[in-house]
Structure 1
């Protein structure tokens, strides 16, 4: 009987060993989980600061940071942190306004000179998005089918060119023709005629008006940029022209390349 009781008592306490093993394994398991979930404080701080800089909120806050705050990343409130953005917008507006005023002033000077010298019926000025355009009727500078600049108004056009030295904008000289085909001993197409006319005006501005060649470019569009109807005599006359385009400075990168 005594032996049976001893064996019975021994078997009764064996479950404690299994239980303690289970508890130990669970403890190890939770320790491993904790070690996996533990965040490097330095990396955490660097991350929050980086996010804060991007969001414009200074040091920034992430979920669970600090003493039980709101648990969200605070977003910048319009009007609180947009001083720099407003300054940039205002700066852009001021630049555009200054550029427009500069071109308007130059236009006024050119118009005054044209009126005083009887050129206002053959030379017109206008301001478009790309800049100030001085539109010269071909009849006062070229003979039909030719690209040599006539002497009659050359000196006055040179004076207009000298006015362009008051600013530093890039200048594009554009040659245009009507759609009447041309083929003579000098030119085989309106393309050639428009390009050579634009080039000759450009060289006049360089050599006679002393404009820096780096500011100038010449291009010919032939008959393909009409401003009027080529089916009428008056329309074709308007299309035969040279445009001196003082480019808005917003196109500096394009023109400079």
Structure 2
């Protein structure tokens, strides 16, 4: 067999040679890079009308996103972008909490003032042995001085007794040191009907009693009349039963209320909702 023929046979038996393919692994990071660039340009386009502060916030957020956290559990801190709902809600919550704290400070100051005034009145009651005729009570809304009607008026009368006028003058002298508070003088009766030449109903009697006592308070030139109001509740706000003599005696009274100017604020929770 000739050499030429032998070579042809060998070439036929030999497997065809395939060329090696090119390495295409670079396409994956290249595609990721293009995606990130596209996202960046979209964000820059969307924020083209924002002011410089918003732009800086976005760039800080992007910088944290690309360079922050070195592990799955170490995530970068997201900077809130002003103008978005989450940022606005956070700002409103902070403003609400600041306002709440300011109100609490005012409430604490008022409480201290009213506690001081209460102590002065309690000392006067004790030193003059008037505990059976007067009492004080401090609440979240007011400081109330309750005076039994028999300490102020004769039965069926709205004329303040001479000794009781001294009490009114003392209370007025104390109130002049607290000019920021509004004062309400309220008259109350029991449910026993009254009908005489001066008063047709318990409404008339309770209103006139409150008015007369308030007039004595206003004789002090150092108190302003626009701080005061007088009101009669008649028999319709009892504090005890009207079925007993003692209960009716408690219901016949005059209340001098020093009203708070600031109410206890509503507590704001972490979600911004009142609690």
Query: What TM-score results when the alignment is normalised by the length of structure 1?
Result: 0.68
Aligned equivalent of 2:203? 191
Q: Residue 156 of structure 1 aligns with which residue?
A: 167
Distance in 2 (CA, whole Å) between partners of 1:229 and 1:173 is: 22
Q: 1:84, CA displacement in angstroms?
A: 4.3
Partner of 2:7: none
How far apart in 1 are the matches of 2:47 and 2:90? 29
What is the RMSD computed on CA atoms of the aligned residues?
Answer: 3.5
In the TM superposition, 1:97-246 aligns within 5 A as 97-168=108-179, 169-208=181-220, 210-246=222-258
Q: Is contact 2:188-2:234 (8 Å) kept? A: yes
Cα 1:145–1:45 change in 2 (3 A) is: farther
Change (3 A) 1:45 1:181: farther
Rounded Cα–Cα distance in structure 2 between residues aligned with 1:173 and 1:142:
15
| Structure number with higher helix proportion | 1
Long gaps (5+) in structure 1: 1-40, 50-57, 252-257
Shift of 1:86: 3.5
Of stretches 154-163 and 97-106 in structure 1, the one that deviates more from structure 2 is 154-163
Paired residue for 1:249?
Answer: 261
C-alpha displacement of 1:141: 0.6
How many residues are treated as equivalent by the alignment?
201
Contact 1:176 1:225 in 2 (8 A): yes
Shift of 1:161: 2.0
* Pairwise CA distance, 1:160: 2.0
TM-score, with length taken from structure 2: 0.64
1:60 is displaced (CA, Å) by: 7.6
CA distance in structure 1 between the aligned counterparts of 2:216 and 2:149, rounded to whole angstroms: 15
Shift of 1:79: 8.2
Larger deviation, residues 155-164 vs 227-236: 155-164
Q: Structure 2 vs 1, CA of residues 83 and 115 (structure 1 numbering), >3 Å: closer, same or farther?
A: same
Q: Tell me the distance in 2 between the aligned counterparts of 1:67 and 1:235.
A: 73
Asked whether the 8 Å contact 1:161–1:209 carries over to 2, the reply is no
DSSP-derived class of the 2:185 partner: strand
Q: Please, which runs of 5 or more residues in structure 2 have no aligned partner?
A: 1-44, 66-79, 264-275
Structure-2 separation of matches of 1:213 and 1:164: 12
Q: Is the 8 A contact 1:190 1:223 kept in 2?
A: yes
**Pairing of 1:6-85 with structure 2 (within 5 A):** 59=54, 74=81, 75-76=86-87, 84-85=95-96
Asked if structure 1 preserves the Cα contact closer than 8 Å seen for 2:160 and 2:213, the reply is yes
Per-residue CA deviation, residues 145-166 of structure 1 (Å, 9 max, x unaligned), is 1100011232133112210111
C-alpha distance in structure 2 between counterparts of 1:67 and 1:101, whole Å: 48
Paired with 1:67 and 1:118, the residues of 2 have a C-alpha distance of 73
| SS of alignment partner, residue 152 of structure 1 | helix
Task: Provide the rounded CA distance (Å) in 1 between the counterparts of 2:177 and 2:257.
Answer: 15
